[in-house]
Amino acid sequence: MTTSKYDIPLPIVLAGARGHGRWHLENIRRLADKGIVRLAGICELTPLDADEIPGGLGTPEQSADFGALLDSTGAAIAVICTPIPTHTDLALTAAERGVHILLEKPPAPSYAEFRRMADGVAKAGVVCQIGFQSLGSHAVPAIRRMVDGGLIGEVVGIGGAGAWARAEAYYRRAPWAGKRRMNGVDVIDGALTNPLAHAVATGLALGGATRTEDVDAIETELLRANDIESDDTSCVRITTADGGRITVAVTLCAEHPDDPYNVVHGTSGRITFWYKQDRVLVQRAGHGPEEIEYGRTDLLENLVDHLADGTDLLVPPDETGAFMKVVEAIRLAPDPIAIPADAWHLLPEEDRRVVDGVDALVTAAADELALYSELGRVAELPPVSRRLARTLAARASWVLPQPPPKEVST
């Protein structure tokens, strides 16, 4: 596919320019400075003021009507960074007009909506990139080569750990924040599916299990300390089609927030990947630790290169099918269980809830490839973390393995 029908720089419309959309504005400015894109339009319910648009981007057309804006600007690419339930319809609006797409993660709130989006995009013949920025890290293929070369022996499993903090105001930032459903429509805005979704998607990529058919079974434990519908402290264990195990544990109620990471456990070593930093630590028997920093390919730039010269697209929809099976398992799981009030406390100066002992529990889950409720007997855990695990285990009658979702025909 080429861009012969377009003039360089390629015209871009950004849908959703506030919140995380501000990052996309800055990234578009970076690529505009390189001369390969220009910001042609911004779709927001309330237009941006001039001081909200980074310098160098000119005066893009603004409208709340996404389809009309795509038509009037002649956009080649649409960047969609809007509420999760709107992703599929907006992507199809772009696809129907022959506009290529960068779609923020998670691509959809359900597997059925994901298939509707992916099948519609494929039928329209346009290109769609899913915005898992960590999958643009050069560390991901490098770790896969290390693993395939036997650097750490046989792979035992892959862990993921994310201990982040979010103030209570985070859940008031938008009507859909912290919701599982709203007005009868799926949202599924939980810790594993949105803010720490990269830990899941990156773990799947490191395990070579990115497509729908690569997942065999999924177990979930969904919990919440905040007064929300969705989960803020949760873990998932994925069994892959080849028998591999991927366990990801996260919280938005950390005692001491830190960068999330994935870890590949082998019989003779381990590889830890801090995916926001593109930093890798290799530890193996008989060798000193080795730390490596990698570069990263920006996903919007990769999409432009794909259109221009056929460069391989890094994250097409089919490569997120396994992640969407995890989203679907979380959607079908029982609603998150409230963590007892005596197991968390409010940090007034930061206006956030902290789950006591959760940091060590997150780390242990990634190390042991275990669910939270299975960690009560881990002697190395601090007593407060063991108590938390036992408390969760006592409430774990609702925790059942979730079968992978069936294919949905559209």
What's 328-393 look like in SS3?
HHHHHCCCCEECCHHHEEEEHHHCEEEECCHHHHHHHHHHHCCCHHHCCCCCCCCHHHHHHHHHHH
Mean pLDDT over 167-186 rounds to 95
Q: Are residues 220 and 241 in the same domain?
A: yes
Which residue is associated with the tokens 């402290």? Answer: 233
**Cis, peptide link before residue 336, omega less than 30° from 0:** no
Domain assignment of residue 78, yes or no = yes
**Which CATH number characterizes residue 248's domain?**
3.30.360.10
Of 368, 323, 109, the C-alpha closest to 218 is 323
Q: Are residues 108 and 158 in the same domain?
A: no
pLDDT at 117 over 90: yes
What are the tens digits of pLDDT across the range 39-48? 999 999 999 9
Q: Are residues 192 and 98 in the same domain?
A: no
Q: Is 237 helix (H, G, I), strand (E, B) or coil?
A: strand
Domain endpoint, select from 134, 156, 178: 134
Mean pLDDT over 85-111 rounds to 98
- Dihedral Cα 202, 203, 207, 213, nearest 10 deg: -80
Q: Are residues 204 and 270 in the same domain?
A: yes
Domain assignment of residue 57, yes or no = yes
What are the tens digits of pLDDT across the range 186-197? 999 999 999 999
Domain endpoint, select from 87, 114, 134: 134
Mean pLDDT over 113-140 rounds to 98
Domain assignment of residue 303, yes or no = no
Main-chain dihedrals φ then ψ at residue 246, nearest 5 degrees: -130, 120
Domain assignment of residue 38, yes or no = yes
What are the tens digits of pLDDT across the range 52-94? 999 999 999 999 999 999 999 999 999 999 999 999 999 999 9
Residue 187 burial by CB count (10 A; 0-12/13-18/19+): exposed, middle or buried? buried
Whole-number pLDDT of residue 406: 52
Mean pLDDT over 88-111 rounds to 98
Whole-number pLDDT of residue 396: 59
> Is the CB of residue 58 less than 8 Å from the CB of residue 37?
no
Whole-number pLDDT of residue 342: 93
Domain count, the chain: 2
Task: Report d(CA 119, CA 317) in Å as an integer.
Answer: 9
Mean pLDDT over 99-123 rounds to 98
Q: Are residues 142 and 130 in the same domain?
A: no
Q: Are residues 229 and 280 in the same domain?
A: yes
Domain assignment of residue 310, yes or no = no
Domain assignment of residue 74, yes or no = yes
pLDDT at 404 over 60: no
Q: Are residues 264 and 344 in the same domain?
A: yes
What are the tens digits of pLDDT across the range 290-317? 999 999 999 999 999 999 999 999 999 9
pLDDT at 204 over 80: yes
Which amino acid does the sequence have at 179? Answer: K
Q: Tokens at residue 19, please?
A: 């919140």
Q: Are residues 262 and 207 in the same domain?
A: yes
Q: Which domain holds residue 61?
A: 10-134
> Is the CB of residue 224 less than 8 Å from the CB of residue 191?
no
Which residue is associated with the tokens 């544990």? Answer: 249
Q: Are residues 365 and 288 in the same domain?
A: yes
Q: Are residues 87 and 105 in the same domain?
A: yes
Domain assignment of residue 408, yes or no = no
Whole-number pLDDT of residue 311: 96
Whole-number pLDDT of residue 251: 98
Confidence of residue 4 (pLDDT cuts 50, 70, 90): very low
Question: Percent of the chain beyond pLDDT 70?
Answer: 95
pLDDT at 409 over 90: no
Task: Report d(CA 135, CA 140) in Å as an integer.
Answer: 7
**DSSP letter at 52?**
G
Mean pLDDT over 20-49 rounds to 97
Q: Are residues 95 and 123 in the same domain?
A: yes
What are the tens digits of pLDDT across the range 145-161? 999 999 999 999 999 99
Beta bridge partners of 11: 38
pLDDT at 397 over 60: no
Task: Report d(CA 396, CA 372) in Å as an integer.
Answer: 10
Instruction: Return contacts of 332-335, CB within 8 angstroms, 24+ apart.
Output: 332/402, 332/405, 333/220, 333/222, 333/402, 334/222, 334/398, 335/180, 335/222, 335/229
**Which CATH number characterizes residue 15's domain?**
3.40.50.720
Q: How far is CA 67 from CA 14, 199, 304, in A?
A: 12, 33, 21
Output the DSSP codes for 90-110. HHHHHHHTT-EEEEPSSS-SS
Mean pLDDT over 13-39 rounds to 97
In this structure, how many other beta carbons lie within 10 angstroms of the beta carbon of residue 212? 19
Q: Are residues 191 and 338 in the same domain?
A: yes
Mean pLDDT over 244-269 rounds to 98
Whole-number pLDDT of residue 6: 59
Which residues fall within 8 angstroms of residue 150, CB to CB, at 6 or more apart?
none
pLDDT averaged over the chain?
94
Domain assignment of residue 56, yes or no = yes
Confidence of residue 401 (pLDDT cuts 50, 70, 90): very low
Indicate yes or no: pTM above 0.85: yes
What are the tens digits of pLDDT across the range 311-347? 999 999 999 999 999 999 999 999 999 999 999 999 9
Domain endpoint, select from 79, 108, 134: 134
